[in-house]
Structure 1
Amino acid sequence: MTTPAPAPPAPRHRLLMPLLLILLLAAGAGSLALGPVALPAGRILAAMTGEGDAIARTILFDLRLPRTIIGLMVGAMLGLAGAVLQGYLRNPLAEPSVLGTSNAAALGAVAALYYGLASLHPAMLPLLAIAGAMLSLLLLFLLAGRSESALSLILAGIALSTLAVAGTSLALNLSPNPFAAMEIMNWLMGSLENRSAEHIWIALPCILPGMALLLWDGHALDALSLGEDGARSLGVDLRRTRMRMLLGVAIGVGGAVAISGAIGFIGLIVPHIVRPLTDRSPSAILLPSMLGGAALLTLADIAVRLIPTGNELKLGVVTAFLGVPIFLFHLLRERRIW
């Protein structure tokens, strides 16, 4: 008599996705309502129906709504990219910068600021950032060659990331005036301030295809947990999987960094937060990481607006202060499992 195959392990917390959706909705609503000028629910509803005052409509539709949508998109992209890279590379420290994508996108944006191209049109900065991410993808393929090993990608990514950081530092060192250097530094610290609907339409054609490519290979990531040989024996085409993963990271993260600046730690810590609440398979943390990244970045952006300071804090600074203690807590809690 044949013994039936064991059922796959059930998620540890079945309410994870509903709770993340509730948190996401709460973060989005809070982003619309909270800020230097608080908007009560009644005033928001009146503005949405066209009956509110002009000030409320301007704050809601011109300032906060684009900022909220961008925060949700960027956070979702970074969280998903971090989860995919940690699964593909089988490295708990992997995040978009490990392949040099985010740093190359940042270098492209810095070039737009350094040469004054950003002042020609608002789309120039994000377009050059996306171009930098795509160039890093091309170089990554050239450096990694035909190797299907994750180690080859990591080593090539580290080389590209280091080169991009060096280029950014060179631009700061040779900046023609202090104002240009200050503009570059402000962008590198990351922010969603003064974003408009135009930025949404610039990033959306990159982020949506990037997400689709990264969500495509969930089962391949599970197979890769057995190693390259094990995944190949299960019928996984490692070359096509790598191609889709690299394209998804380069296109999606390039589009996200292009409009938000350099924001770290989201792609690193969010998969660690949701992993203990799942069955720990790489595919099981993809959607939770996407939702968790969107919620966490939006909540961090709310904190940026509410913390009383003379100048608004940069979002990258806040995510770093939030990320380090969360990451250390989960590191101490999960180190025996890894």
Structure 2
Amino acid sequence: MTDTTFAPPRTEMSYRALLAGLSLAVLAAFILSLAIGYGWLDFGAALADVLSSRDSLSALVLTELRLPRALLGLFVGFALGLAGAVMQAFLRNPLAEPGIIGISGAAAFGAVLVFYSGLAAVSSLLLPVGGIAAALVAGFLLFAVAGRNASTSTLILAGIAVNSLAGALVSLVLNLSPNPFAATEIMFWLMGSFADRSLTHVAIALPPIATGCLALFATARALDALALGEDTAASLGFDLRVTRILLISGVALAVGGAVAVSGAIGFVGLVVPHLLRPLVAYRPSLLLAASALGGAALTLAADIAVRLLPTQPELKLGVVTAIIGAPFLFSLVWRLRGEMR
């Protein structure tokens, strides 16, 4: 197989500098997420208590409230940024994002179904389990509808069908919910948030997110070849069926695991790849790691902003990312419209 090249390529040193800068931004946002909250916390003393295994109120707040929130911001943002970069490269569409193949909607439906059935009252841990299971079912359904040798356009249409079905089922559950308080709880969960999550939620979400991200990174070289067209990629020796399997299963696991614990957090997978693509000379394989880190930094920063805004009750994270992403989407559509003239 022959590597594809993109001109003008950035130097390896500049790419490493970009990744180093993004990594520092993620680290700074992660530390700030641990240090910032509604109540004052002596972060240094709390960290010392945790490292010394001393039981104290500040140590409890740090480990049970702020650490799960920061970890979920890191992992969920990483998964969404990476999935967005992969989807845009694979579909060769600058408006593509992880929800386009229906995985996000299916994961949301799985969690909503747990709410509706009353299983959430048995154990809150069944909520992410239901979301992850529904995301995997949606992945298998996508394969069944699109077929093993589906073209990219067929895959998109199948994804739209799965997404529409998931959205309709969520609306049906809300319509049939006999308890208005349960319907309200479902609506608030769908808005997306990391509040009130525990380390157990992190432990449930991390394995599928990590597995899905590994599968998505494995598509890097094929995505470079696909930038030159499907026929060219096939002539270079890439098996597009394997690429589709890795992509769909990777998005199902990574995004499904993320949505299952946080609810719907939109626009991260759309905005981040666009901002970083010019910095990697538009090369898809180089964009993956950069978008993953950028997604983590943006999600952590947005979650910090949620806690700093003087609003009660707390704004949902999905609302904030939508407010950030919607103007960006309008500007992108306007720019693409200008380029088509």
Q: TM-score range by the shorter chain?
A: over 0.9
Q: CA deviation at 1:52?
A: 7.2
Q: TM-score, normalised by structure 2?
A: 0.93
Q: CA deviation at 1:122?
A: 2.2
Contact map agreement 2:216 2:247 (CA 8 A) in 1:
yes
Give me the whole-angstrom Cα distance separating, in 1, the residues matched to 2:189 and 2:71.
Answer: 19
Contact map agreement 1:149 1:228 (CA 8 A) in 2:
no
Q: CA deviation at 1:323?
A: 1.4
Among residues 306, 313, 316, which one is paired with 1:311 in the alignment?
A: 313
Give me the whole-angstrom Cα distance separating, in 2, the residues matched to 1:324 and 1:253.
Answer: 20
2:35 corresponds to which residue?
Answer: 33
Contact map agreement 1:108 1:129 (CA 8 A) in 2:
yes
Contact map agreement 1:273 1:330 (CA 8 A) in 2:
no
Among residues 191, 215, 218, which one is paired with 2:217 in the alignment?
A: 215
Contact map agreement 2:109 2:166 (CA 8 A) in 1:
yes
Contact map agreement 1:110 1:168 (CA 8 A) in 2:
yes
1:176 corresponds to which residue?
Answer: 178
1:271 corresponds to which residue?
Answer: 273
Q: Which runs of 4+ in 1 moved over 4 A?
A: 5-8, 329-338
Give me the whole-angstrom Cα distance separating, in 1, the residues matched to 2:62 and 2:5.
Answer: 52
1:11 corresponds to which residue?
Answer: 10
1:67 corresponds to which residue?
Answer: 69
Give me the whole-angstrom Cα distance separating, in 2, the residues matched to 1:46 and 1:127.
Answer: 34
2:45 corresponds to which residue?
Answer: 43
1:294 corresponds to which residue?
Answer: 296
Q: Could you say what secondary structure the match of 1:93 adopts? A: coil
Q: 1:88 to 1:48 in 2, by over 3 A?
A: same
Q: 1:241 to 1:337 in 2, by over 3 A?
A: farther
1:153 corresponds to which residue?
Answer: 155
Name the Cα RMSD after superposition: 2.0
Q: CA deviation at 1:327?
A: 3.6
Among residues 123, 126, 133, which one is paired with 2:135 in the alignment?
A: 133
1:163 corresponds to which residue?
Answer: 165
2:56 corresponds to which residue?
Answer: 54
Farther off after superposition, 309-318 or 143-152: 143-152
Q: Percent identity among equivalent residues? A: 53
1:96 corresponds to which residue?
Answer: 98
Give me the whole-angstrom Cα distance separating, in 1, the residues matched to 2:18 and 2:334.
Answer: 22
Q: TM-score, normalised by structure 1?
A: 0.93
Q: 1:38 to 1:337 in 2, by over 3 A?
A: farther
Farther off after superposition, 323-332 or 101-110: 323-332
- AA partner of residue 144 (structure 2): L
Q: CA deviation at 1:44?
A: 3.9
Contact map agreement 2:106 2:131 (CA 8 A) in 1:
yes
Give me the whole-angstrom Cα distance separating, in 2, the residues matched to 1:333 and 1:53.
Answer: 55
Q: Could you say what secondary structure the match of 1:10 adopts? A: coil
- AA partner of residue 35 (structure 1): G
1:259 corresponds to which residue?
Answer: 261
Farther off after superposition, 121-130 or 149-158: 121-130
For this pair of structures, how many residues does the alignment match? 334
Q: CA deviation at 1:304?
A: 0.9
Give me the whole-angstrom Cα distance separating, in 2, the residues matched to 1:308 and 1:117.
Answer: 34
Farther off after superposition, 324-333 or 109-118: 324-333
1:231 corresponds to which residue?
Answer: 233
Stretches of structure 1 lacking an aligned partner (at least 5 in a row): none
Contact map agreement 1:148 1:238 (CA 8 A) in 2:
no
Give me the whole-angstrom Cα distance separating, in 1, the residues matched to 2:6 and 2:267.
Answer: 35
Contact map agreement 2:81 2:294 (CA 8 A) in 1:
yes
Q: CA deviation at 1:47?
A: 3.0
- AA partner of residue 207 (structure 1): I
Q: 1:176 to 1:28 in 2, by over 3 A?
A: same
Give me the whole-angstrom Cα distance separating, in 2, the residues matched to 1:168 and 1:43.
Answer: 45
- AA partner of residue 10 (structure 1): P
1:194 corresponds to which residue?
Answer: 196
Q: 1:6 to 1:292 in 2, by over 3 A?
A: closer
Contact map agreement 2:101 2:162 (CA 8 A) in 1:
yes
Farther off after superposition, 278-287 or 51-60: 51-60
Farther off after superposition, 37-46 or 84-93: 37-46
Stretches of structure 2 lacking an aligned partner (at least 5 in a row): none
